[in-house]
Every structure is written in structure tokens, then in C-alpha cells.
Homo-oligomer: A and B are copies of this chain.
Amino acid sequence: MSEILIKDAYALIDGVIGRHSIYISGDQIAGIDRMPEGFQAARTIDGADRLVIPGLINAHTHSYMAPLRNIADDMPFMDWLFKGVQPVEDNMTPEDAYWGAMLAIAEMIRCGTTTFNDMQMHIHQTTKAVRDSGMRAVICRGLVGDEYDKDNYRVKEAFEEMEDGKDCGRLSFMLGPHAPYSCGPDFLRCVADLAKEKGLGIHIHLAESVTEIENLQKDHGCSAIEYAEEAGCFDVPCIAAHCVQISDHDIGILKKHNVSVVTNPASNMKLGNGFAPVPELLKAGVNVALGTDGAASNNSLNLFHEMSLLALIHKGTNMTPVCVGAEETVRIATENGAKALGLAGVTGKIAEGMKADLAILDLTEPSMMPRTDLLSSLTYSANGSEVDTVIIDGEIVMEERELKTIDLERVYHEIEKMSDRLGIGNKQKINRK
């Protein structure tokens, strides 16, 4: 059995950073400052200038979209979606989705993310990438429809993939009705019923844009949150991505049903959708997690970037420095993410018996000096490149910035081929003016 000792490092435990030794046995954290019986370290990581944190949890993304990074920036939302992203997305093959997911996973691991929550289009591809890379993920096949049809091929695919993923402990699954504007009330209700019947959670986009809520109000006389509640989406554990355009009444509904909200600051700003009312959600006691969204609307999958945005933007919009502080931000990106994904006892914390999902930061960058308050450093100063070692499920997947499970050269080769084929290759020589 693989046993790893992280010796005398700074470590974030229960919201406090102190110096600790962490003993990893198999896939678990077997001891903290207390060597488990019979432990024999096959590998010792020197903690002197290092900070160990729970691996970050990207609670909303679309990994297959990584190759669509930068293809349609600085343009109106409808052009972005219908002229920029969709025509390319429609031409992506399942194999493209696999290599896209591999690129996304490589990027996430390099910035300390150990678990992601993925809504995708091509079954068996993210699952394969997760198996190959050693990553942890919760996966749902995006479902769209108007009237419910039990032969809906996407629903069938969702269950087919779950069956196939059963044997991998790092994989779990949800049902993924896409959004109120792409799922009619009848379809949404039937998907919710199916979730209840099968004991599955739901992952859905809600209240992302003004257009979405205006149309719902016009067509159905309700808010996006009310629409999802009415359909029964909140009767099972539910992850609601975005929740930008919501009222106090909506927040009450989310709280009542213990819905987890995933905020995606970069994506919401970049697409001109605004700022989710995160301080209000936190005040109401809603579980808020953090996501990057897909690379086409971010254009990064770096949760350190997202943490700094989360901790800064609400101070700006609320005009107070006392709002979404450093400790809360780090908890949102770790514990809260695990809770949202149904992995509260599994990952998101450094504690005995939890899976060994850890990101280890090298503190010798100038931006991490002096080490006055490392929770602040994590939130406001770090950019993600400080992460030098990543452990997932007890396995070292990156060591001193070298990826151990992913052949980056091969990934890049496939991404370049794909870019050429999809016509999204090098645009450098085009003058954007």
C-alpha cells in the first residue's frame, strides 16, 4: 500500500493554518500529527516551505469546452453563443470531448483542483478522462427537452454512462436538466421525478441572465427559482449554477430546500450577466460553492483566480471591505463544494478518514512573503502557480509541477489537430481592430 508522509508543513485544518504532519495511507488521510500503527512512508514530502490545503472543488464546469477557450470573446452574448460557441461545439466529436476534458483536467490539477462537477454532452468521455488522469468528478449528461419523452436519447445516455461508471470510486453522477430556457415544465418535472425515483441529485443552470428571467416571467409568470421548485428539482439534493438574477424570495426558497448555489464570478461578469448576491445567500445560510464554468466563458479553469474574484467583487458592489472574507472564500472553494456535490464526508477537508485529496503550495514565491496570514495569501495573493504537488485519492498526480498521469504533449497534439479541424486555430495574424 502506498504510504506518504507530508512532514511538518503549514496545513489548513478546520479553518486554521498551523504546522502539522499528515500521514496518507492508501487513498485516505490516516493520521494528523499522529503516526498510524505500522505506517511506513514510501515517500516523504518536506513541508518546510509548503502549505497543504484540501484540494479545491470546481463545483460547476463543462470540461469538454476547454478547446473553445478564447474563440469568441468581447462580443454580445447572443453572438457569443450562436455564432461563436455553438457552431463549433456542434462539430465536436466524442473523441474531441475526451481530449477537451483531458486539457481541462490538466489545467485544473496544475492549479490545485482535485474534484470537478461536470455537465457534458458526450457520454463516456469525461468518465474516461477522469479514469485516465486520476481526477475526482461528479458528472451529468446535459438534458434538454420540451414535452417529456421517456425515449429521450439524452436521458437514456445519462443512465448508460452511470452504469459504465459504477466501478470507479472517484466518479459519481447526477441528472443534469440544462436550464429553464432549455427544459419545458413537463420535461423538467419528469426529470425531477426520475431523480427522486433513482435517488440522484440534480445539477442545473438557474437564473443566469436577465433575458432568462424576463422570458420565464412572461411565459410562465414565475422566477427561475420558482420554476425549478414547481417542477420538483429541489425535492432532491440540487446544485443550482449561477443564481445571478434572484430575489430575496428566491433566496428563501433555495434555503428552504437546502439547494446548493454555485457562483461563477468570472463567467457571470465576462458574459455581462452581473454579480450573484453571494453575501445575501451566505447570510440566509444557503450553501454557496464556487465554479469556473466552461473555458469558453471564463477563459480559465483556475479556482485561485475565482477565489480572488469572489473575495473582491462583492466588497466592490456592496462598498464594504467586510464581506466574503478570506476564510469564508477558502471554505466556499473546499468544504462547501464537497457538500454541494454530496461528497461532504469524502473530500474538501483535511481530517482523518477523509480521502487524501490535497494541494500543496510552494511558499517561496515573493507574492507569498511575508507569511503573515496564509488564509489571506491563499485568497488575495496566490495565483495558482504556487501549487507544486497534488494528491488525489492518495495518488500523487502532480509533483514539483510535473504532471504524473497526463501526457501533456499528446494532449496538446490532439488539441492542435482538433483546433485546425474545427477552424478555431491560430487567429494571431488577424487584426482585431
Interface residues of A (CB under 8 A from B): 10, 15-19, 66-67, 69-71, 73-77, 80, 103-104, 106-107, 110, 210, 265-266, 268-275, 298-302, 304-305, 308-309, 311-313, 315-323, 325-327, 364-367, 369-377, 380-381, 383-385, 408, 411-412, 415-416, 418-419, 424-433
CB pair B431 A366 closer than 8 Å: no
- A299-B103 contact, Cβ under 8 Å, with A312-B269, A320-B272, A370-B69: no
CB pair B313 A269 closer than 8 Å: yes
CB pair B74 A321 closer than 8 Å: yes
CB pair A431 B16 closer than 8 Å: yes
Nearest CB of B to A20, in Å: 11
CB pair B374 A412 closer than 8 Å: no
In the complex, the chain B residue whose C-beta lies closest to that of A363 is: B412
In the complex, the chain B residue whose C-beta lies closest to that of A316 is: B269
CB pair A415 B380 closer than 8 Å: no
CB pair B316 A274 closer than 8 Å: yes
CB pair B373 A103 closer than 8 Å: no
For A315, what are the chain B residues with a Cβ–Cβ distance below 8 Å? 269-272
A309's partner among B312, B381, B425, B433 (CB-CB below 8 A) is B312
A106's partner among B271, B311, B316, B366 (CB-CB below 8 A) is B366
Count of this chain's copies in the oligomeric assembly: 2
CB pair A210 B16 closer than 8 Å: no
CB pair A299 B380 closer than 8 Å: yes
CB pair A415 B369 closer than 8 Å: yes
CB pair B73 A380 closer than 8 Å: yes
For A299, what are the chain B residues with a Cβ–Cβ distance below 8 Å? 376-377, 380-381
CB pair A367 B269 closer than 8 Å: no
A427's partner among B373, B416, B426 (CB-CB below 8 A) is B373
For A416, what are the chain B residues with a Cβ–Cβ distance below 8 Å? 370
- A327-B380 contact, Cβ under 8 Å, with A73-B373, A106-B366, A301-B367: no
Nearest CB of B to A26, in Å: 29
Beyond known contacts A77-B321, A299-B380, A366-B411: 19 more, CB 8 A cutoff: A69-B377, A70-B373, A70-B376, A74-B321, A75-B322, A76-B321, A76-B322, A107-B365, A269-B315, A270-B380, A272-B316, A272-B318, A272-B319, A301-B367, A313-B313, A326-B432, A371-B426, A372-B424, A383-B384
- A110-B366 contact, Cβ under 8 Å, with A312-B269, A428-B17: yes
For A365, what are the chain B residues with a Cβ–Cβ distance below 8 Å? 107, 110
For A266, what are the chain B residues with a Cβ–Cβ distance below 8 Å? 308, 312, 380
For A77, what are the chain B residues with a Cβ–Cβ distance below 8 Å? 321
16 A–B pairs (Cβ distance < 8 Å), ordered by A: A15-B431, A66-B366, A70-B372, A70-B380, A73-B325, A73-B373, A73-B380, A76-B322, A269-B313, A272-B315, A272-B321, A299-B380, A371-B428, A374-B428, A375-B432, A385-B385
